[in-house]
Chain A
Amino acid sequence: MKHHPRLFEVLQRSETGPLVHEVDFDRKLVGPTIKRLTDKYDIRYTGEFYVNCDDDLADRVFQAGLDFASEVGVFNQSTSRCITWTRDEIEIAVRTCPAEASVGAGEQKCTIVARKPEDTNRIALFGGVVGIPFPEHLYLPITLSFLNQNIFDIIDSASLETAYGYPIKAGTGWEVLGAWREAELVQEALALVGKPGMPFGAVQLSPTALGSLAGVTWGGLRTFDHNHVPMTSEFKVNNDLLAIITHAHNHSGFIGAYYNPIYGGFVGGAPGIAVAVAAGMILLNQVTIGHTFCTRPTHPFLGCDTTPEILWATSLAVQALTRNSNLMIANLAGPVSGPGTRTILYENAAFALMAIASGVSELEASHSAGGAVPRHGSGLDARICAEVARTMPGLTRLHANELVGRLVKLYQPEMQHKPIGRPFEEVYDIEKVEPTAEWQGIYDDVKEELIAMGIPLDRFKKM
């Protein structure tokens, strides 16, 4: 997608848009606009639903998202300027976004399609620990723990703690080396399982353009792999991110953009999160001109996206977008619990039910233990999401709401204790890359419990 005129406009406007102090962008633009729009469109959280079942409310959230996108835009921290678009430009971009895109190559090529709420179309499944720090000696085993599930379409990588034993430091040669090493190790894992064309996203946490660009050069991400591009909270980019976006376009890469608003932060509570996600995905489409748009709203103290308020807000925003556009929306399951606990399986199953009924195109798992505790993640954590997604096509929102309600009761009392579970090497035999008998036993036990609850995981066939 070389010489993209819309991208030229983004780069140009990031240098010529209105000047705003960052503190004013946060305090005078983002916060008050979100508040005004939640009032204007009467978006309220009652606690009655875990999965939104109100179409009219979803449509109002979409309108609020459009309003926000055209009134506020995106802030470029490097130039202190807002990148803005007219309402017409935004509506045209939403109308003309791709409703289908492919990633991967050969037998591992995967097509992602736009979905609607309660849709029966296939969801793309993305497996990985998504930037959770892992030491070098566990990097291959953790990647293989996802590949060995034989259920994921796309693989995401961990973040290396060191490269060749040295700490990886942002903005230095170590960042470049770390990015190359991550890409190299993921490809080694793909070769080991005989799936060289399987798409992957790596160099997750490259903090500057140095690492990201190094990871997308010869020997790193291939032209059919998955480029991650974030918009930081709330509604911000910088020149490094714009450089990464530009390079991804010229590399003909698939762009999976993401934006994760903070619950209780500048956008406020559940209604604010719903509007922020709707606006955020619309603005990601403007600024990245990407393919999929992922969100994982984050609880400020628990680090998860599975509290009842966040589940509701996410479901509402996803429905707003999937009912009213062809944007391909993705969600990342981020449980507060970690590997080896029953509650991570309840949380991930609940999140998957919410996401598939709301119409996501791509479901990613698992940002276990809030996504920030080193070595706390495993392939089996994510498998439950994949099994739920594959066995419940066409799940209605009402049914999802009922099931999620039952699951929330099982994990919510434990959330404040942050049950981060155990590190990867304690729940997996890292030589054989298999779950320990104990962790597999817990999984099988919870699976039986979910089957008894009416989630037909017994129908799941190995792919």
Chain B
Amino acid sequence: MSENEKIISEFTEYLLGERSGDPVVWVRSVLNAGLPPLDFFNNIFNPTMTIIGAKFSRLDIFLPELMDAAETAKRIIEQVIDPMFIEQKSSSKTSRGKILICTVQGDLHDIGKNMVSIMLQVNGFEVIDLGTNVNTRTILDRAIEEKVDIVGLSSLMTTSMSYMKEVVDLRDGFGHKDKFAIIIGGAPITAEFATMIGADGFGKDAFEAVERCMALISRVKS
């Protein structure tokens, strides 16, 4: 096992609560031992989050553990990594982009949306979660106000799918098509439906949603 692999293994255990002690203090000690913050972020932090995401995809861990890990990771970014980047005047960024996510109007299901939200956070996105049963105007207004890169819409019900089209129609109709991309998902949603309503992407599950957002973000940023 290489030194990096050892640190990743230890970091994984901290994030999953399998080691006692404060993970923030541990990360500081690793960085104080000489590992540059950018190296830590690229070669330790990101691979560890990928491992944790994979564990959830196999259901080796469950949603509460995944959420705890994501929260701890966020705390590490905010308290350790970002301040060090600022101190070093580094242009490196810890967030891949900003995503607004919600379940559209008429639908109260939230667990699928929550899984996508957490997987996006685990993979380095900043996520604004508006919850469930969110009306179209609110989605559009908040997306513009928060200057998000992507809006993710979830619906588990055929009767709410029409509201996804409404979000796309309002975005395009009010001239905001170039401001943010729209990705959709949920049990009855298909790639064909996404294309039909003019959405920019579709994810069949939380893992594909992350992949699509990675691809969309580079398009949006360019």
Contacts and interface: CB of A to CB of B under 8 A. Distances in A.
B162 A264 contact: no
Contacts of B62: 264-265, 268-269, 272
Nearest to A211: B159
B63 A266 contact: yes
B159 A31 contact: no
Given A31-B64, A264-B59, A266-B63, A171 B106 contact: yes
A170 B187 contact: no
A133 B63 contact: no
B158 A133 contact: yes
B111 A207 contact: no
Interface string A346-375: 000000000000000000000000111010
Interface in B119-166: 131-132, 156-163
B162 A167 contact: yes
B159 A265 contact: no
A159 interface: yes
Given A22-B131, A133-B188, A372-B187, A170 B160 contact: yes
B159 A232 contact: no
Contact of A170 (B115, B163, B188): B163
A419 to B, nearest CB: 16
B111 A265 contact: yes
A263 B112 CA distance: 12
A32 to B, nearest CB: 8
B54 interface: no
Contact of A208 (B106, B109, B156): B106
Contacts of A211: 159
Contacts of B188: 133, 372, 374
Interface residues of A, number: 40
Given A207-B157, A300-B115, A170 B105 contact: yes
Contacts of B64: 27, 31, 35, 266, 268
B205 interface: yes
A171 B105 contact: yes
Contacts of B157: 170, 205, 207
Interface in A207-234: 207-208, 211, 232-234
A374 B159 CA distance: 13
A399 interface: no
A269 B158 contact: no
Contacts, number: 88
A232 B109 contact: yes
A384 interface: no
Contact of A207 (B106, B112, B187): B106
A169 B111 contact: no
B108 interface: yes
A262 interface: yes
Contact of B111 (A159, A233, A370, A371): A233
Contacts of B109: 232-233
Interface string A162-180: 0000011111000100100
A59 interface: no
Contacts of A133: 158, 188
A77 B132 CA distance: 10
B107 interface: yes
A303 interface: yes
Contact of A238 (B56, B108, B112): B108
A63 B136 CA distance: 44
B106 A269 contact: no
B111 A178 contact: no
A45 B157 CA distance: 33
B84 interface: no
A168 B105 contact: no
Nearest to A159: B158
B67 interface: yes
Contacts of A269: 59, 62
A460 interface: no
Top 3 A-B residue pairs of the complex, sorted by shortest distance between their CB atoms? A170-B106, A372-B187, A169-B162
Given A170-B159, A175-B159, 18 more contacts: A133-B158, A159-B158, A167-B161, A167-B162, A168-B158, A168-B159, A169-B163, A170-B107, A170-B162, A207-B107, A262-B63, A265-B111, A266-B63, A301-B57, A301-B205, A371-B187, A374-B158, A374-B188
Interface of B: 56-57, 59, 62-64, 67, 105-109, 111-112, 115, 131-132, 156-163, 187-188, 205
30 contacts: A27-B67, A31-B64, A35-B64, A77-B108, A133-B158, A133-B188, A161-B158, A170-B107, A170-B159, A170-B160, A170-B162, A171-B106, A175-B159, A206-B159, A207-B157, A211-B159, A232-B109, A236-B108, A262-B111, A264-B56, A264-B62, A264-B63, A265-B111, A266-B64, A266-B111, A272-B62, A300-B111, A301-B57, A372-B156, A372-B187
